[in-house]
Amino acid sequence: MATLETQYKNYKSKHPQSNVSFEEWKTIAFGSLQIEPQVEVEIIESERGWGSKVDEVKKFYTKEEALAFIEDYNSVNDEPVTPDWYMYARLK
């Protein structure tokens, strides 16, 4: 299944003259169906000695979009030793 971004890029390639933004396109494509984002990603703050907590919840229309966001968000967590403070994303 193609992500919404891929579908939007396909739309833009077929309609290069269109000035419709991605957010506008989602409203046009799905607004009449009243589709709400179904996949939630938690942004977790973790600090040594204090534990962890949910800092934010982001919503996505597809699991593919959510997983792509998680991969990108967590890509900065590449230190060989866990830091005292860090943030990471996970599926809810």
Q: Report if residue 3 sits inside a domain.
A: no
Quote the pLDDT of residue 32. 58
10-24 average pLDDT score: 83
In this structure, are residues 55 and 43 in contact, taking their beta carbons and an 8 Å threshold? yes
Indicate the helix (H) or strand (E) that contains 68.
Answer: helix 63-74
Can you give the residue range of the structural domain that contains 53? 35-92
Quote the pLDDT of residue 46. 96
54-83 average pLDDT score: 92
pLDDT tens sequence across 71-85: 999 999 988 998 999
The CA distances from residue 33 to 13, 27, 29, 36, 51, in Å, are 24, 9, 8, 9, 41
Q: Report if residue 21 sits inside a domain.
A: no
Q: What is the pTM of this model?
A: 0.63
Q: Report if residue 11 sits inside a domain.
A: no
Say which amino acid occupies 59: K
Q: Report if residue 90 sits inside a domain.
A: yes
Q: Report if residue 72 sits inside a domain.
A: yes
Domain count, the chain: 1
Quote the pLDDT of residue 15. 84
Q: Report if residue 58 sits inside a domain.
A: yes
